[in-house]
Amino acid sequence: MRVHKLTIAAMALAAGLSLTACQNDDAGTDQGAAPPAASTASSSTGGSGSTGSDQQGGTDSEGKTPAGTGGSDGTGGTGGTGATGGADENGKAAKCRTDELEITAIDATVGGDDRGTVAVDLKNGGGRDCSLAGHAGVDLKTNSGTLSAERTGQPAPLVVLKDGERTTFGITYPINDSGGSGVRITGLVVTPPDETKSVTLDWPGGATLPVTDGSGTPVQVGPLGSAGQGG
């Protein structure tokens, strides 16, 4: 009987230990399986959702915004180029300023003429296209005061000068062949069209003008783009 009781007790103890071991194995398996499942779901939702959103946002930002900015810059550049080229608001060449022009004068009298001619040259040195229209202002300094030239009345077309180009107009005056001392010319003052700033040059023509009765100026100025008697 004693041996029988010990055997039953030993079997009961072994069964209890086996059941406990199985329960511990099951619990370990469940605990080990649950965390990987949760980790995978978090990675899929967070990684995919976050990454997908960032990639889409990057595409919209990098694809559309730079393209729109480039178009705007290109349009602005075109407008800037027109302005830098010296054009006015109507797209025409802006007028030439006195400081942009190199103005010189030479004697252009043809032998045998009864009137002398001085050719005045205006060269564009402003680095841009510019325009001139009409007649330049011309005054002669004399020992009797300032003598202003009259216009010949000829048409005066618009002249557009590229950088380095030039135009010429003529000044005509009566030659002093009276035998008298006449009116001595001491200088030439030229004012470009639509300008108030003048340039004073040496007078390259005849030294004197004949004395007149004061009924009118004997000096005439032609339009831009011409030279010779009467312009």
- Over residues 86-106, the pLDDT tens digits come to 566 566 899 999 999 999 999
Look at residue 11 in the predicted model and tell me its pLDDT: 52
Look at residue 215 in the predicted model and tell me its pLDDT: 61
Look at residue 227 in the predicted model and tell me its pLDDT: 65
Question: Residue 221 contacts by C-beta under 8 Å, 6 or more apart in sequence?
Answer: 135, 136, 138, 149, 150, 151, 152, 169, 170, 171, 231
Nearest to 170 by CA among 95, 101, 106, 103: 106
Round to whole Å and give the CA distance between 70 and 185: 62
**The two three-digit tokens of residue 126, written as one number:** 């402003």
| Rounded average pLDDT over 5-33 | 45
Look at residue 212 in the predicted model and tell me its pLDDT: 74
Residue 42 pLDDT greater than 90, yes or no: no
- 143-146 contacts: CB < 8 A, separation 24 or more? 143/183, 143/184, 143/186, 144/183, 146/189
Lowest model confidence (mean pLDDT) among 57-61, 130-134, 153-157 = 57-61
Question: Half-sphere exposure (CA, 13 Å, Cβ side) for 152?
Answer: 22
DSSP code of residue 46: I
Look at residue 89 in the predicted model and tell me its pLDDT: 56
DSSP letters, 103-158, are EEEEE-PPTT-SEEEEEEEEEE-SSS-EEE-S--EEEEEETTEEEEPEE-------
Look at residue 163 in the predicted model and tell me its pLDDT: 97
Look at residue 57 in the predicted model and tell me its pLDDT: 42
Please state, for a pLDDT cut of 90, what percent of the chain lies above it.
45
Considering only residues 111 and 109, tell me which one the structure prediction assigns the higher pLDDT: 109
Residue 70 pLDDT greater than 60, yes or no: no
* Confidence band for 6, pLDDT divided at 50, 70 and 90: very low
Classify residue 228 as exposed, middle or buried by CB count within 10 Å of its CB (0-12, 13-18, 19+).
middle
Round to whole Å and give the CA distance between 231 and 220: 8
Average pLDDT over the chain reads: 72
* Confidence band for 114, pLDDT divided at 50, 70 and 90: confident
CB 212 within 8 A of CB 124: no
